Amino acid sequence: MGRTGRRLLFYSAALAALAALALLLPPETLAQCPLCRSALQDAGDRAARTMNLAIVVLLIPPVSIFCTIFAVAYRRRKGDGEDDRES
């Protein structure tokens, strides 16, 4: 097994371990923060759905920024390796 294969195997095992850990967490840990939870307890289903949508909308910019930085770093790293092989 080559270096790339071992690295892929390591990342797959790490991802599987994180997924297993997420499944073992109690449902309360996956809920909103305590402040949001107390504000929404008596507000009703519509307010809770609106709050969950707002949380998802607020996650879009940081996730987009992270993915962009990751893609640029990946392309730059992969591009540097290709230049060395061609020379």
Answer whether 40's CB lies under 8 Å from 51's CB.
yes
Q: How far is CA 27 from the centre of its chain?
A: 18
State the pLDDT confidence band at 87, using cuts at 50, 70 and 90. Answer: very low
pLDDT in tens, 1-17: 677 777 788 888 888 98
pLDDT in tens, 18-33: 888 878 877 666 665 7
Does the predicted TM-score (pTM) go above 0.85? no
Q: Per-residue pLDDT averaged across 76-84, rounded? A: 66
d(CA 24, CA 18): 10
